[in-house]
């Protein structure tokens, strides 16, 4: 495992990289509620659990032929 996957929370740009989406697509996921984030001061973070949940939802939508 890399250091990135051991973190409990990730800065959003890092989170987008981990799930393999562009910045634009990442913000779409946030705005639709598929990717849960939170703010700590000025920084927006995403928990590792939220990333896993989002990735699983995207995989399920892909299998069902739906856009996530």
Q: What fold characterizes domain 8-63? A: Multidrug-efflux Transporter Regulator; Chain: A; Domain 2 (1.10.1660)
Question: What pTM does this model have?
Answer: 0.82
Question: What whole-number distance in Å separates Cα of residue 52 and Cα of residue 35?
Answer: 9
Burial 12-41 (b: 16+ CB within 10 A, else e): beebbebbebeeeebeebbeeeebebeeee
Tens digit of pLDDT at every position of the chain (68 positions): 556 557 899 999 999 999 999 999 999 999 999 999 999 999 999 999 999 999 999 999 999 887 66
Torsion sign across C-alpha atoms 49, 38, 17, 35 = positive
Question: What whole-number distance in Å separates Cα of residue 55 and Cα of residue 61?
Answer: 10
């Amino acid at each position: 495992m890399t250091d990135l996957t051991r973190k409990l929370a990730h800065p959003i740009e890092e989170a987008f990289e981990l799930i393999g989406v562009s910045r634009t697509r990442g913000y779409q996921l946030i705005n639709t509620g598929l990717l849960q984030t939170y703010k700590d001061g000025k920084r927006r973070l995403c928990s590792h659990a939220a990333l896993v949940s989002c990735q699983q939802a995207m995989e399920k939508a892909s299998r069902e032929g739906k856009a996530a």
